[in-house]
Structure 1
């Protein structure tokens, strides 16, 4: 039986369908990894463009309280006002270096009357309770703050938090508990504050310019897709050879293949022996 005749059987058509589905799934994962790489590259571009830029007045970047574009992420803004320390919140489940902890969020009242949420940094979970042992206090009085913009987070359904803590930096929910206009499009990661306190929460480090392994993963998925067809063809050839084992022409080809394998084994043995002699 020829390979073409075997391909038309229901069983091998089914195998072909499986190989096609497998290739589609693998290709889908490959495309997804390319999309993840594009997102990582876009984040790197934002960091390069914004992180070391000169601080701008917040109203120049965020003309409305709900203004924010993803292209503004990491852009530094400068604000002057005072911290509302009585309204401080702790964002839960914020690991750093493998250690559980919290982000310290303090509403900052601008001289113009609006509030922007400032993330002053990270503190570890306490030794004996699900809250920090110590939270360094924000400076009192008039303070000038430089912070880098970050978009607000989505609500986490079903997540609850104790009094004074939140599970997500959902700015609309935070604003609902404050009696003044609040910037709900973005909050700020603290970079500098003047006057500087003697101690502050641990600052977030400069983000790494690393796009991750997405490109190599994408290529691997496409190779897997191809390998599915290679395996299909291999199995097909093996069955054709078995079905035609009594055919003289197939017997000749089988003998030739065995001769080549024996020759390769002989060459490999000679190389090993030569290496052994060289080693002694």
Structure 2
């Protein structure tokens, strides 16, 4: 027993506790994220009454995972020069684009054109050259709230106004102010555009939940491997002492 309490062995015990604890904690975190995705998919909030955006999230808040699809009322000032087009949005087999213009959300004292902005999907079109002029001035819009996308598809030309996904890291290149960690899909199309619907969301988004589950399993496997290495180390370190003790017993019996 004393052999397992040496300074070297205590260091090994401490190391495995840290490794297993960290791996277990990260695995639980990813598992919780998977559960949140499943819960969000199981609940349809799109038919609820709209609520003010400030009641759901603030400009610096992380997206609330239980509010996907919640209709929100947003009022602010359009940023027409920051309009972008998101590719890969299909309607009846026709590839098209979402038309997205950020809306600088009103502050406590009224319109604030320099305040944090929420990207708003105004509608859908099949070709960019048919897009109407972007809106200017102030507006009030009801939109389905969505987390920013992260399909991993790269923007091959950051200098144009076409994006492969609604990701904050891509949008920020086109907007001069802070952005909410979300976007809204207008429940009614604006400026004569065709409707944009949540059915047009890219399918890779639903694989995010599965990825979280796989990450959780990966972390737990890592924790189990660390525990196995510790067990092998302790066994090998203790083998000479056990052999010596056994030899002593044999000699004493003789």
* 2:84/2:162 contact within 8 Å kept: yes
**Superposition deviation, residue 71 in structure 1:** 1.5
Q: What is the CA–CA distance in structure 1 between the aligned matches of 2:148 and 2:198, rounded to whole Å? A: 19
**Superposition deviation, residue 86 in structure 1:** 1.2
**1:149 aligned partner:** 145
SS of the aligned residue for 2:81 comes to helix
Give the counterpart of 1:101 among 78, 81, 96.
96
2:82 corresponds to 1:87:
yes
2:87 corresponds to 1:61:
no
Give the counterpart of 1:204 among 196, 210, 219.
196
Counterparts in 2 of 1:164-179, with a 5 A limit? 164-179=161-176
* 2:76/2:140 contact within 8 Å kept: yes
- TM-score normalised to structure 2 length: 0.54
Q: What is the CA–CA distance in structure 1 between the aligned matches of 2:169 and 2:84, rounded to whole Å? A: 14
Q: Deviations over 1:125-178 (max 9, x none)?
A: 3xxxxxx23113344322111111111111535441461111111113312442
2:79 corresponds to 1:70:
no
Cα RMSD between the aligned structures? 2.8
Structure 1: state its 5+ residue gaps. 1-37, 126-131, 208-280
- Mark the CA change 1:98 to 1:157 in structure 2 (over 3 Å): closer, same or farther: closer
**Superposition deviation, residue 64 in structure 1:** 4.2
SS of the aligned residue for 2:172 comes to helix
- Mark the CA change 1:206 to 1:92 in structure 2 (over 3 Å): closer, same or farther: closer
- Mark the CA change 1:63 to 1:122 in structure 2 (over 3 Å): closer, same or farther: same
Structure 2: state its 5+ residue gaps. 1-34, 108-114, 200-254
**2:116 aligned partner:** 114
SS of the aligned residue for 1:86 comes to helix
**Superposition deviation, residue 40 in structure 1:** 9.7
Which of 1 and 2 has greater Rg? Answer: 1
Counterparts in 2 of 1:41-56, with a 5 A limit? 42=39, 45-47=42-44, 50-56=45-51
**Superposition deviation, residue 70 in structure 1:** 2.5
Q: What is the CA–CA distance in structure 2 between the aligned matches of 1:102 and 1:171, rounded to whole Å? A: 18
* 1:147/1:189 contact within 8 Å kept: yes
**Superposition deviation, residue 182 in structure 1:** 1.1
- Mark the CA change 1:164 to 1:158 in structure 2 (over 3 Å): closer, same or farther: closer
**1:245 aligned partner:** none
Counterparts in 2 of 1:1-280, with a 5 A limit? 42=39, 45-47=42-44, 50-112=45-107, 113-125=115-127, 132-154=128-150, 156-161=152-157, 163-183=160-180, 185-192=181-188, 197=191, 199=192, 201-205=193-197
The size of the alignment, in residue pairs, is: 158
SS of the aligned residue for 2:63 comes to coil
